[in-house]
Amino acid sequence: MNLILCKNYDEMSQKAAELIAEQVNEKPNSVLGLATGSTPIGTYSRLIEMNKNNEVDFKNVVTFNLDEYYPISHSNSQSYHSFMNENLFKHININLNNTHIPNGETVEPSVECAEYEKQIEDFGGIDLQILGIGRNGHIGFNEPSESLSSNTHLTGLTQDTIEANARFFKDENQVPTHALTMGMATIFKAKKIILLANGRSKMNAIKALLSDEITTDSPATMLKMHPNVTVICDYDAYADTRIGIDIGGMSAKIGVLENNKIIERREVAISKAMTSDSIVDELVSVCNDLMLQYQVSSIGVGVPGFIRDEKITTANLPFKEYNLKEALTTALKVPVKVANDANCAALGEQVAGAGKGADNLVLITLGTGVGAGIIVDGKIYSGRGSAGEVGHMIIEKDGLQCDCGQCGCWEKYASVSALIEQIKVAVEKHPNGILAECAKDVIDGKTIFAAMEKGSKTAKEVFDNYRDYLAVGIESIINIFDPERILIAGGISQQNDTLLNPLKEKLKPYDNIEIATLKNDAGIIGAATQ
């Protein structure tokens, strides 16, 4: 079995079209077995372009489609007769008399299937069969646990297949429950087979296909017995084993993920003496070691700072207009994506944490500064590279001087650093109070909450003031993005209800505010997922 691994759907479609064109150019009267569904649409689009550019000629080609719903009218927009006409036949110079699709209008399915089988034989069999693959490993409509030795036949569709195809109909109830389909024995007689797969939903089916086992639970596995099969798939379908890297000022945390769960962790120390190239060398060394153990489909990196035109500039790391993506891709030979670390953390929470199920969310991280990760329609939103720098929204005209050079930035009032400064001011004013007592050894984000627990009115005043400033910025974010969910992260967020409940009360009626749950894992998971 030959495996062609492509970066994405477009590359997969192009490669498949080239192989089909090569077959037709070598044998102009080729008999092609064609598939339907969403997967081959891109391939058919490429073939249409190639035909218009005189790169391939279909005038003598004969085609047999894998299947057709039953019962269904040819004129039904969801029939495969309509599908093939709209997505291929009417756009190329093929003789429609040479195209064959099982008759979903027949009153005698068994007779239709026998005749279809005879027609294939009369044309000398299929030279090149195109296949897709279902989430459960079916090809055509040969469902799991069905006989793998059948010819063209009428088959019932599983609930999983009905649900998968429901997106093409107004509702699930309109999906036919049966289909006429080439059997595995018929498919197996094809001289060559190309199987296409894209997307994470096909991952388990491809994993089974590429394993050593042949089973009726995944009909596609029978193809391992065929002498000439080419599997063309994208990285998402090939594997769900990824590496996520979360780069910080002191270390880079590295995780191997399967199904969005970290199964192995590594860490690389980062010192101020290191250059950008030496950091990359350390990352490459660890990733190469992991890739010897795991079948890694891609690597994602989260890094603090600005990313523009794929070049990174960071304040506390030696990356200055540095193309980290290019450096890692060149060294590791797998697809690499790089995004801002706050955005990666937001994505991590969206796929595996408190943001699960929300396609639109904002993760606000409260620490030395205030940052935000923004997810829109399930994807990271980065603008031109610096979206999410919400800490530098102006909330106080002519306010406190910020390190960025502006005055009145949100993080000068709502960061943990700002809270600590507010505590210090309060302690100077009330040196003998409960707050001062709690702050005598160390002042951090926990100090204010410890003092409030002991009944400090000063601490309550400081906290209420801090909460109000925090709410001002969040309210602006709500007004701009109207997200399904806002998540709060950072050490101070672990105060949970003490912080969250007063904040929700302040921001009513909007109350979709939650505490992030993944902590340090969010950046790793999000980096791998991007």
Indicate the residue among 238, 261, 292 that finishes a domain.
238
Q: Are 172 and 166 in contact (CB under 8 A)?
A: yes
Q: Are 246 and 262 in contact (CB under 8 A)?
A: no
Same domain assignment for residues 306 and 276: yes
Does residue 99 sit within a domain?
Answer: yes
- Cα 64 from Cα 157, distance rounded (Å): 21
Does residue 347 sit within a domain?
Answer: no
- What pLDDT is stored for residue 145 in this prediction? 53
pTM, rounded to two decimals: 0.58
Q: How far is CA 242 from the centre of its chain?
A: 11
Q: In what order do the strands lie in the sheet with 67-70?
A: 67-70, 178-181, 153-156
Burial 508-519 (b: 16+ CB within 10 A, else e): eeeeebbbbbbe
Indicate the residue among 213, 238, 263 that finishes a domain.
238
Nearest to 242 by CA among 259, 227, 225: 259
Does residue 346 sit within a domain?
Answer: no
- What pLDDT is stored for residue 511 in this prediction? 86
Domain limits at 365? 352-529
Q: Are 134 and 199 in contact (CB under 8 A)?
A: no
C-alpha torsion 115→119→124→126, nearest 10: -90
Q: How far is CA 277 from the centre of its chain?
A: 29
- What pLDDT is stored for residue 389 in this prediction? 85
- Cα 477 from Cα 471, distance rounded (Å): 10
Over its length of 530 residues, how does the chain's per-residue pLDDT go in tens digits? 899 988 789 999 999 999 999 999 999 999 999 999 899 999 999 999 999 999 999 999 999 999 999 999 999 999 999 999 999 999 999 999 999 999 999 999 999 999 999 999 999 999 999 999 988 777 877 766 555 568 999 988 878 777 877 777 877 888 888 999 998 889 999 999 999 999 878 888 888 888 777 776 777 888 888 999 999 998 778 766 899 999 988 899 999 998 688 999 999 999 989 999 999 999 999 999 999 988 788 899 999 888 888 899 987 789 999 999 999 999 999 999 999 999 999 999 998 999 998 999 999 999 888 989 999 998 889 888 778 889 999 999 999 999 888 999 999 999 999 999 999 999 999 999 999 999 998 999 899 999 999 999 999 999 999 999 999 999 999 999 999 999 999 888 888 788 999 999 999 999 899 999 999 899 999 999 88
Domain count, the chain: 3
Catalytically active residues, by annotation: 67, 136, 138, 143
The answer for residues whose C-beta is within 8 angstroms of residue 123's C-beta and 6 or more apart is 31, 62, 64
Same domain assignment for residues 212 and 255: no
- Cα 171 from Cα 165, distance rounded (Å): 10
- What pLDDT is stored for residue 170 in this prediction? 78
Same domain assignment for residues 24 and 149: yes
Q: How far is CA 252 from the centre of its chain?
A: 23
Indicate the residue among 184, 207, 238 that finishes a domain.
238
Q: Is 305 helix (H, G, I), strand (E, B) or coil?
A: coil
3-state DSSP: the chain helix, strand, coil percent, rounded to 5?
40, 20, 35
